[in-house]
Structure 1
């Protein structure tokens, strides 16, 4: 692990970003350009002390998950992402298999969505990035352990995950998850990621196995969903899906129609909900 080079790289990457580049308010006047350490730590889902020690050449060797989170927080390019891994003595992940490097174009759009919940997910349901209003609506997914960041896995294996939706809507959400995963698995028959997720869920969830046997297939597209928030209530939101050029990452945007009760509740969530980031579902 090259601590000296890592320190220099992190500092320079942080200094070149303005708060507006990552969807944060500018705040008070800054003495030096770039993001503050606490802002990088917040974006990466780590403690300020941990990140500070990394920049001061005295931190532990970061895990692969932590490096991926740092690369997203600092908006690194593909080459910079790999360089970060090399500086810590780790082999960069194979993107064609993992798809964990968020496309810069999707992040650019995500950072500018301040008034509506939005997330970036893989076609297999892995949450890669969220904006603040998404965390307020459904919890901070990236703060969870890596295995708990897949919204399809959590929906079927964690009973608390379905609490995000009204009970009468949950069967439809379950069918959508299964049909979408079947479309991905059939499109990528040699990819172990969707195949492994299907095998795991068929074994662990009777509900998933039953729905899988129906052989329904549907690509994720625009729809309307209802979400339950413990303080705000039920919000009916239109769901738009923007797909990147490789069709393996999606920017999912939820909007409320002006003049509706859900629109008013979404505005209230902007005011009070950002303080409640308790992990829930996605």
Structure 2
């Protein structure tokens, strides 16, 4: 990224400054305050910058700020992650990325997962690790907590055939689905190039699966999409379920919800699973 939109950058900085009160950042308000929010000299003080430099940026005539300056301004102005990304893009810089794939599931997502009680549901990381699941998902797939963490990865299961819990998840036969699967991992690697666990997963997949390696070398990016998924359950047999992907953008995670159309054998199987599977889990 090279282009600097100085006018919009100046507008964003001025607007952010007006939203912050001295009390928000531990500064005394003082008498005769004539502007809403912080003064320019207060922003400069908080960011460790010169007042003249801040003035030039707010007037749309300053030099291109470095990432270090942008981070200092974002901290001083208490910018959200989204606002910080906007600030970087307006300044012609790539927004900073987290060093590793987020693996912690927010409590609100866990609450939503528990509320989806009538359907199996999973929370996936950006690299397709199963991070959390509800009771019906455990009844369908088995106890994920009994598996080593590396075995809980859906892309690993797809290409290395390790299975998930007590069932086998069959790959979608369509070539585009496989390419999207690999492409989603490439997209994740571009966001988290320094994540060692992600690098280890890609290396393992490339070494162990020729189809994965071929698709990886094609260099195509992608994302996980909603699609039909076939699972082979030890008691219920083969079930083809709709798998809807709901995004949790703040955590860079996704919520997978499995369902079946009313009146289908799969819908009857899920209803049976709600009775016998959950009872089995409560006894185990």
Q: TM-score category by the smaller chain?
A: 0.5 to 0.7
Candidates 229, 238, 244, aligned match of 1:225: 229
Paired residues of 1:155 and 1:161 also in contact (CA < 8 A): no
- Radius of gyration: which is bigger? 2
Which position in structure 2 is the counterpart of 1:111? 114
Q: Secondary structure, in 3 states, of the residue corresponding to 1:234?
A: strand
Paired residues of 1:226 and 1:236 also in contact (CA < 8 A): yes
- Structure 1 residues 258 and 247: alpha-carbon distance in aligned structure 2, compared to 1, 3 A threshold: same
Which position in structure 2 is the counterpart of 1:57? none
Any unmatched runs of 5+ in structure 1? Answer: 1-94, 278-282
Which position in structure 1 is the counterpart of 2:189? 185
Which position in structure 2 is the counterpart of 1:165? 169
Paired residues of 2:171 and 2:230 also in contact (CA < 8 A): no
Structure 1 CA distance, aligned partners of 2:148 and 2:268? Answer: 33
Which position in structure 2 is the counterpart of 1:258? 262
Q: Secondary structure, in 3 states, of the residue corresponding to 1:246?
A: helix
Paired residues of 1:136 and 1:275 also in contact (CA < 8 A): no
Which position in structure 2 is the counterpart of 1:145? 148
Structure 2 CA distance, aligned partners of 1:276 and 1:125? Answer: 28
Candidates 214, 217, 234, aligned match of 2:218: 214
Structure 2 CA distance, aligned partners of 1:242 and 1:137? Answer: 20
Confirm or deny that 1:100 pairs with 2:128: no
Structure 2 CA distance, aligned partners of 1:205 and 1:124? Answer: 17
RMSD: 2.8
Which position in structure 2 is the counterpart of 1:53? none
Candidates 235, 238, 244, aligned match of 2:242: 238
- Structure 1 residues 229 and 169: alpha-carbon distance in aligned structure 2, compared to 1, 3 A threshold: farther
Q: What per-residue deviation string (whole Å, max 9, x for no partner) do you get for residues 196-245 of structure 1? A: 32122112322321232233332112222222212112222222222223
Structure 2 CA distance, aligned partners of 1:113 and 1:237? Answer: 16
How far has the Cα of 1:123 moved from its partner?
0.9
Structure 1 CA distance, aligned partners of 2:232 and 2:174? Answer: 11
How far has the Cα of 1:168 moved from its partner?
7.0
Candidates 133, 138, 144, aligned match of 2:136: 133
How far has the Cα of 1:275 moved from its partner?
5.6
Q: Secondary structure, in 3 states, of the residue corresponding to 2:105?
A: coil
- Structure 1 residues 247 and 139: alpha-carbon distance in aligned structure 2, compared to 1, 3 A threshold: same
Larger RCO, structures 1/2 (Cα 8 Å, 6+ apart): 1
Confirm or deny that 1:155 pairs with 2:141: no
Paired residues of 2:151 and 2:162 also in contact (CA < 8 A): no
How far has the Cα of 1:140 moved from its partner?
1.4
Q: Secondary structure, in 3 states, of the residue corresponding to 1:250?
A: strand
Normalising by the residue count of structure 1, what TM-score does the alignment of the two structures yield? 0.56
Paired residues of 2:246 and 2:256 also in contact (CA < 8 A): yes
